[in-house]
Amino acid sequence: MKFDYDLLVIGGGINGSGIARDAAGRGLSVCLVEQADLASGTSSASSKMIHGGLRYLEYYEFALVRQALRERETLLRIAPHLISPLRIVLPVLPDMRPKWMIRIGLWIYDHLGGKISLPATSAIKLEHSEYGLPLAPGPTQAFAYSDGWVDDARLVILNALDAKRHGASIQTQTRVNGLKQKDDGWQISLQSAGVTRQCTARCVVNAAGPWADMVDEMANTYHARHMLKVQGSHIVLRKLYEGDHAYLFQHPDGRVLFAIPFQDDFTLFGTTDTPISSDPGKAHLTEQETEYLLKGIERFFAIKRTENDIVWSFSGVRALFGNPKKKASALSRDYELVMDPPGETPPLLSVLGGKITTYRSLSEKAVNMVCSRLSTTSCEPWTAKSALPGGDFGAKDFDLLVGKILADWPFFEQNNATRLAHAYGTMCFQIFENISCEEQLGIHFGSGFYEREAEYLIKNEWAVTVDDILWRRTKMGLRFSQEQVETLKEWIENR
């Protein structure tokens, strides 16, 4: 039987888009389906960090931390526009581990992943440092260590873009309604815009994240055992402190809270770990989470903030796998790739768990398994050395890229040129090709966001709604007034 696709990937989050990119680049015919927008679930609701996971050392997950640290270096290299170094300050508090133990842990963190490009850990006396100025009285010592920051939703988009460039079909707003075994492959029922259609694939990848159990039920495979759904919520407030560094605080309940510079004028604060049993698509910041996070700010900073100071919040559901009796914060953020042995079912690979930092290596291993099962010989891994779209420049040349954008289009303001360079990298020169004056950019919706950019996002990056544009493709929603939002919405509806 001739199949429509070698591989159908269910789920348009970071793992699904990464697998689609890797597989398409190896010559497989690939279709990715997402029931809503790309990165509309967990993958746009992370802490936006590319990190090894310092706190996982406490649970002796050395292999996970080593892999994540190595991937951090890879991602810094292949996406220098999207991923930036981040210095993190860890104040030493009385109810934490002893200072000497923390220092040993950070030394391990600096060396576990092999050669690193980021600065090593340093000790800080807070009373003599600007790092101590915004903090509540108490800690006098801290450590500063390095990790990375990422726009998580755009990382998903860029992987999907590269998958498309390699021939993959990316189908958003498309729901899988059924999976049936057919001639050593799969018949898949898809619904989009009220229309149901059928397609076939030699192999299916279940990368549906917190919806993975629903896909398993349709396929009668039930790989997603012991899945605990945990909601993580973040709040965004006006800038809590000056500087481009982040803070990591250990809460008395054992959780960690991050304060991270966000979009120049804001601070991102979170996260929570709240087990849920409701629909992952309805995740939202609860009153209890709001109180918990605001009390965290009050505990660690010398300022108070109220619910009225929250300018945005977002929540996502992580699917964690392991002993459901454990606390959510203690469950592993590692992943499992599960495929039934040959002869039991047609190939269906379930992606269980994972974290954004290790998505690329997860994708590589997943496609290795698919290629082996499909007996595909020309399947050499390639993504570790290939830049993501827009990332084809040196990691130290970001400022040069911003300068080139300003030289080509002097009507852009510095902060807007920096935003464009982070979001699109060298793709800016295609997006704004042949633009010689500001008028050619079309309608100015606000804060340096023009019609030309909106058109690009709709035509090339699967944006459909105003939220797709303002909160996932960009974060312009933080700067738009309600009137500007309505203007953009009306433009989308009438274009």
The pTM assigned to this predicted structure is 0.97
> Which range is most confident: 276-285, 317-326, 457-466?
457-466
High-pLDDT (> 90) share of the chain, % = 86
- Percent of the chain exceeding pLDDT 70 equals 98
For residue 324, the model assigns a pLDDT of: 57
**What band does 377 get if pLDDT is binned at 50, 70 and 90?**
confident
Left (φ > 0), alpha (ψ -120 to 50) or beta: where does 394 sit? beta
Gap between the Cα atoms of 145 and 154, Å rounded: 25
User: What single-letter amino acid sits at 185?
Assistant: G
Q: Report whether 190 contacts 229 (CB < 8 A).
A: no
Is residue 257 within 8 A of residue 296, CB to CB? The reply is yes
- Separation between Cα atoms, residue 169 and residue 290, nearest integer Å: 40
> Which pairs from 168-171 meet CB under 8 Å and 24+ separation?
168/20, 168/21, 168/23, 168/24, 168/30, 168/31, 168/32, 169/5, 169/30, 169/31, 169/32, 170/12, 170/20, 170/32, 170/34, 170/38, 170/462, 171/31, 171/32, 171/33, 171/34
pLDDT digits (tens, 9 = 90+) for 309-323: 999 999 999 988 765
Residues 68-96 pLDDT 10s: 999 999 999 999 999 999 999 999 998 78
**How far is the CA of 202 from the CAs of 17, 28, 105, 416, in angstroms?**
18, 11, 46, 45
Distance (Å, rounded) from C-alpha 338 to C-alpha 226? 13
Q: What is the pLDDT of residue 1?
A: 74
Residue among 47, 60, 76, 72 nearest 357 (CA): 72
pLDDT computed for residue 447 by the predictor? 97
Count other C-beta atoms under 10 Å from residue 311's C-beta.
13
Angle between helices 414-424 and 398-408 in degrees, nearest 10: 120
Which domains are seen in the chain, by residue range? 5-42+154-226+332-385 (3.50.50.60), 59-150+228-318 (3.30.9.10), 398-494 (1.10.8.870)
